[in-house]
Chains A and B, each alone.
Chain A
């Protein structure tokens, strides 16, 4: 359980370390760059982590281990089995538990001398300013555009640094926004991409070690900000390519016309970030285009009945290897040039993993004249749930 070394939020700054703390942090204390002054700065620091997942895992572990005196953990999600491949704060027995609380228990065990608070809530325009105000540094480890713009805007409104990290498959971006005279997220990207144009991690996958590396860099930047030492990443965007094992750095300028941090600020309060990002609801489940569908059960009974149905699988070859319905494989990206492989006189059922990509395929094929084409509702995931549980879900 968490114990609070400094009960209450209005406690006076700690001026000393206990003997036990001196022993725990001895490898910091013997470094002149940290020393007793630095360790006390860490002890008096208040850091809020937005997201306790892939990036949040190394962040939480290293910041707790380093002795950051007060850590806030914001996450509304629960631990899922597929998280364990990279979210190293959690163990198998945490599956199904709220992430923020599971992380709090784990970090309290790592360092019982610090104060850790879990906020099992979704960060919104209504609660962000209230949540942020008691912390010195905000660390952005979220996974979606609306929350990233929200974190940015709230940090700028409150004048707090925002240690930013973002990942995709085997590529990462890290920087520090919101420093005095430094750029903000909107200086870098004034607007988010429209939904559907950039794939999410759930679709694109992510190499498990990558958030470990990117989150660790965020932890390092956070500690440097607390210590006031070294050169932080404000004004520089660090790009990391894990596959090529290359770090590159781009200049990041403060945009004088930025609506959030420019000289003529036009955004003076938090807005509706889902509307701003063109998304309603969390992840816009289901297909983005409306096309005729068939449920897994219907398809099964028609196949059992001996109906002539051609199964078209629009996933990637590596997904076909995981599991398949013995369909004809044409990845969505190749459909335009391989459409001649399909016979429009036959009845076709297209499927993918969840039904989203195949909906696009059905939409495209209908536009080029296919009439007897249906989308498998819910994809191979639903097939596994409703028809054949021996088909693995991924």
Chain B
């Protein structure tokens, strides 16, 4: 199953400046595993040292938050889009 992972602007420097990447994956966790294998520097930005997704990084399959699905075990279908959405604070300066 081919899924597309959308990489947000703040994390692109750690992902070879790519905006998205495609992987064969049956779950969200698998796709993120492939992603952080290909771009090792991304790992610490997405996961804690214990391997847990960081709490300021949300992951969506299409438009659904995986926290309300099966988290990283959420199954993916062919053509699904996985979005990584970190908190950003900018506005004034």
Q: Give residues 228-268 of A contacting B (CB, 8 Å).
A: 237, 239, 241, 243-244, 248-253, 255
* A143 close to B92 (CB less than 8 A): yes
Chain B residues with Cβ below 8 Å from A200 are 89-90, 93
* B93 close to A143 (CB less than 8 A): yes
Q: What are the interface flags for A47-87 relative to B under an 8 Å C-beta threshold, 1 for contact and 0 otherwise?
A: 00001111110000000000000000001010010010000
Shortest Cβ distance from B87 into chain A, in angstroms? 4
Known: A189-B55, A198-B10, A333-B41. A171 touches B92 (CB 8 A): no
Chain B residues with Cβ below 8 Å from A191 are 55-56
* A250 close to B85 (CB less than 8 A): yes
Known: A193-B56, A198-B10, A253-B65. A166 touches B90 (CB 8 A): yes
State whether the Cβ of B45 lies closer than 8 Å to any Cβ in chain A: yes
Shortest Cβ distance from A115 into chain B, in angstroms? 23
Question: In the bound complex, how far is the Cα of B55 from the Cα of A239, in angstroms?
Answer: 19
State whether the Cβ of B14 lies closer than 8 Å to any Cβ in chain A: yes
Known: A171-B88, A204-B10. A251 touches B65 (CB 8 A): yes
State whether the Cβ of B19 lies closer than 8 Å to any Cβ in chain A: yes
Contact of B86 among A54, A165, A193, A249 (CB under 8 A): A193
* A198 close to B87 (CB less than 8 A): yes
* B10 close to A55 (CB less than 8 A): no
State whether the Cβ of B78 lies closer than 8 Å to any Cβ in chain A: no
Chain A residues with Cβ below 8 Å from B67 are 255
Q: Give residues 189-213 of A contacting B (CB, 8 Å).
A: 189-193, 197-202, 204, 206, 211
Chain A residues with Cβ below 8 Å from B56 are 189, 191-193, 198
* A248 close to B88 (CB less than 8 A): no
Question: In the bound complex, how far is the Cα of B93 from the Cα of A144, in angstroms?
Answer: 9
Q: Give residues 116-173 of A contacting B (CB, 8 Å).
A: 140-145, 148, 165-171, 173
Q: Give residues 41-93 of B contacting A (CB, 8 Å).
A: 41, 44-45, 54-56, 58, 60, 63-65, 67-68, 83, 85-93
State whether the Cβ of B9 lies closer than 8 Å to any Cβ in chain A: yes
* B83 close to A250 (CB less than 8 A): yes
Known: A189-B55, A191-B55, A193-B86. A199 touches B10 (CB 8 A): yes
Summarize B's interface: helix, strand, loop or mixed: mixed
State whether the Cβ of A365 lies closer than 8 Å to any Cβ in chain B: no
* A166 close to B83 (CB less than 8 A): no
* A143 close to B83 (CB less than 8 A): no
Question: In the bound complex, how far is the Cα of B67 from the Cα of A342, in angstroms?
Answer: 45
State whether the Cβ of A188 lies closer than 8 Å to any Cβ in chain B: yes
Q: Which residue of B lies closest to A201 (CB)?
A: B90
* A166 close to B89 (CB less than 8 A): yes
State whether the Cβ of B33 lies closer than 8 Å to any Cβ in chain A: no
Q: Which residue of B lies closest to A190 (CB)?
A: B55
A/B interface sample: 7 pairs, CB < 8 A: A56-B92, A166-B91, A173-B85, A204-B90, A248-B83, A251-B65, A253-B65
A residues with CB within 8 A of B = 51-56, 75, 77, 80, 83, 140-145, 148, 165-171, 173, 188-193, 197-202, 204, 206, 211, 237, 239, 241, 243-244, 248-253, 255, 333
Can you name 10 extra interface pairs (CB under 8 A) apart from A166-B87, A201-B91? A55-B91, A77-B92, A145-B89, A166-B89, A192-B87, A193-B54, A193-B86, A201-B90, A241-B9, A333-B41
3 closest Cβ pairs, A-B complex: A53-B92, A143-B92, A201-B90
